[in-house]
């Protein structure tokens, strides 16, 4: 009998980035479900509970990742969420989960900049899944 592999939901509207992320996550040994938009991801979570979700911040809307993380946490409060974004590189604005003004409305566990090294991403995923 094989061990159950965790399933990670990956959501990004950049199909090239989504494919690269999928390959990276599967190389870590996880199963993946992908969605190319907030709306598509909302349909996925209606029938499937991921073990963890990795979301882009800006998709259909500038705050799609925040909206989606809110909806995931409302339906599945125990699912860890990582938001990966290029917003800091593009705008200079960064979100800090330890800042009192950002933390109450940001329903993600970690926010990371796109371009993160795969070894750091793997470490954060393992930590969130408590491996």
Domains of the chain: 7-114 (3.40.50.2300)
Tokens 């109450």, residue located: 104
pLDDT in tens, 46-92: 999 999 999 998 888 888 888 999 999 999 999 999 998 876 545 45
pLDDT of amino acid 20: 95
Give this prediction's pTM.
0.84
Give the bridge partners for 35, in sequence order: 11
| DSSP codes, 68-110 | HHHHHHHH-TT--EEEEESHHHHHS----TTSTTTTTT---SE
pLDDT at residue 3 above 60? no
Distance CA 59, CA 125 (A): 22
Q: Measuring CA to CA, how many Å separate 123 from each of 47, 50, 51, 77, 117?
A: 28, 18, 16, 22, 10
pLDDT at residue 2 above 50? no
pLDDT of amino acid 16: 95
Distance CA 23, CA 118 (A): 11
């Amino acid at each position: 009998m094989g061990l159950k592999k965790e399933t990670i939901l990956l959501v990004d509207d950049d199909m090239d980035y989504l494919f690269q992320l999928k390959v990276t996550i599967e190389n870590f040994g996880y199963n993946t479900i992908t969605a190319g938009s907030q709306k598509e991801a909302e349909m996925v979570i209606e029938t499937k509970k991921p073990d963890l979700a990795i979301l882009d911040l800006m998709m259909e809307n500038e705050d799609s990742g925040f909206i989606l993380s809110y909806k995931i946490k409302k339906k599945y409060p125990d699912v860890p969420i990582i938001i990966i974004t290029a917003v800091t590189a593009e705008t200079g604005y960064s979100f800090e989960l330890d800042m009192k003004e950002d933390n109450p409305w940001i329903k993600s566990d970690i926010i990371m900049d796109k371009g993160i090294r795969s070894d750091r991403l793997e470490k954060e995923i393992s930590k969130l899944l408590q491996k």
